[in-house]
Amino acid sequence: MGSTLEQQVQQAEARWLEGWKNGPRRTRWTTIPLQVGDPAPSFDLADQHGRMVALSSLWSDGPALILFWRQYGCGCGLDRAKRLSDEFPEYVARGASVAIVGQGGPERARAYAETYALPDVPILADEDGRVYQAYGLLEGRPSQLLYDAPESWLDHDAETGLAFARDRRAQGRPPVDNPWLLPGEFVVDAGGNVVLAYRYNYCEDFPDPRLLYAALREASRSR
């Protein structure tokens, strides 16, 4: 019998706390990361409804915008969700297919989308982080992700992590999965080549929407 949504969240919380105590591990590229002009890697991933989606299907008929989320308890994700809702009509007007890649499995992705009223786009589950790595997304250092927290938090000790997790759970959005992953946003043209590789340098390093609009225009013209 499969685990319930609450059990999945509790397991993800435990992973978060363990990752918090251990600190970031993957903070440097060991090979040249995916860059503009490279073929975009395709993976088959389950969406929030449990359907398998090939990333390559997103750019088969036109440009694609792929947004890599942080963990589903992150406050900056809520800000990006609001912006995504505001910007989504313009993405569509520019012919883009839009998808989100997240750390949570299909049930958690569906619950997240419903809670925060995300646009109706595929939310794809990369539970082992292989797609994040293939797209060159690193883990950030405490200074990149905790810069606006009390300075003592930079030590990411267990007591602080437990207190933070209790507070966030009380707010209804417990911290989950890898606490150190940095987000990214990629535009891919219909030929499957990367037109924009935007990797966040800190948690709220949101790209200017005009950058995304211009990249989508460029991607459309490269067909």
pLDDT at 13: 95
In a domain, 14, yes or no: no
Which distant-in-sequence residues (6+ apart) come within 8 Å of 74 by Cβ?
175, 203
Containing domain of residue 166, as a range?
Answer: 28-221
For tokens 């503009």, the residue is: 36
In a domain, 6, yes or no: no
> Helix or strand or coil: residue 81?
helix
Count of structural domains within the chain: 1
| CATH code of residue 188 | 3.40.30.10
In a domain, 16, yes or no: no
What six digits make up the tokens of 19? 């990752």
pTM as predicted? 0.95
pLDDT at 141: 97
Task: Pick the closest to residue 195 from 38, 20, 56 (CA basis).
Answer: 38
Tens-binned pLDDT, residue by residue, of the chain (223 aa): 468 999 999 999 999 999 999 999 999 999 999 999 999 999 999 999 999 999 999 999 999 999 999 999 888 899 999 999 999 999 999 999 999 999 999 999 999 999 999 999 999 999 999 999 999 999 999 999 999 999 999 999 999 999 999 999 999 999 999 999 999 999 999 999 999 999 999 999 999 999 999 999 999 987 5
